[in-house]
Amino acid sequence: MTEPAQSGFISHLLELRNTLLRSVIAVLVIFIGLAYFANDIYSFVANPLIENLPENSQMIATDVTAPLFTPFKLTLFVALFAAIPFILHQIWSFIAPGLYAHEKRMLIPILLSSIVLFYGGIAFCYFVVLPIILSFFTGIGPEVMTLTPDISSYLGFVLKLFLAFGIAFEIPVAIMLLCWSGVTSTSSLKEKRPYIVVGAFVLAMFLTPPDVLSQTLLALPMLLLFELGLILAAFYSAKPSSEESQEEKQ
């Protein structure tokens, strides 16, 4: 490796380190700002369950440290989710100098839409999915059973669902990127639609708790988002390499 190339490689590594460091600092700053409201944040997230608990039932903590650490654990995840726009901006700043002008014009709206879709997936899970599945779960047990869910178990349950729906709502963005890069095309995806339907339910089975209801509530939006991605991807196609080579990087 020549001296200029080595120097450039080291500068890229330093810039990557600074990007990661700024992202971590952003998460920590948001976490510190939200730490005082940790119990309120947990109460807000637990509200769909509390509203569906039978009378005289309440949440419990089976671990001595759970009442302290569980709300703070949730707050850390909230800080991470809240910092995603900043983190994506840092990633964009790192890769943007190596992109062509048409790539920048293409990726900026995709970057913005991916943020909106991720938050939209979490909101859909909290306001639509959680009330449905929790109402179902809390209502099917025998009357002699006293439901006392553990706060740590519930946190793991909802975080898994939030992450699953947040990622699943990125399907339109993934389809647009695949079609734009030339990896696939809308016509090819339409031909594979039956397999994708099966694959959506299989993927939902791994991403959600082991029950048919939550799997279906994830798989159906995934299929709708797949159709939306096909519509949006029709406006994008792979750019000929000859045209790319003539365009200067900015």
On average, the pLDDT of the chain sits at 82
Supply the Cα-derived Rg of the chain in whole angstroms.
22
- Other CB atoms within a 10 A radius of the CB of residue 100 amount to 16
- Flag the least confident range among 62-76, 136-150, 154-168: 136-150
Flag whether the pTM goes above 0.75. Answer: yes
Q: In what helix (H) or strand (E) does residue 225 lie, and over which residues does it extend?
A: helix 212-233
pLDDT digits (tens, 9 = 90+) for 17-34: 888 899 999 999 999 999
Residue with tokens 């890769």: 95
Given this model, what pLDDT does residue 38 score?
A: 93
pLDDT digits (tens, 9 = 90+) for 85-107: 898 888 887 777 776 777 777 77
Residue 144: band (very low, low, confident or very high) from pLDDT cuts 50, 70, 90: low
Is the distance from CB of 121 to CB of 169 less than 8 angstroms?
A: yes
- From first CA to last CA, the distance across the chain in angstroms is 25
Tally the domains of the chain: 1
Given this model, what pLDDT does residue 142 score?
A: 64
Which residues partner with 100 through β-bridges?
Answer: 249
What is the DSSP code (8-state) at residue 150? B
Residue 53: band (very low, low, confident or very high) from pLDDT cuts 50, 70, 90: confident
Does residue 5 surpass a pLDDT of 70?
Answer: no
| Beta strands, E only, 100-233 | none
Q: What are the CA-CA distances from residue 85 to residues 58, 118, 173, 237 (Å)?
A: 36, 10, 16, 27
Q: Domain range spanning residue 191? A: 3-246
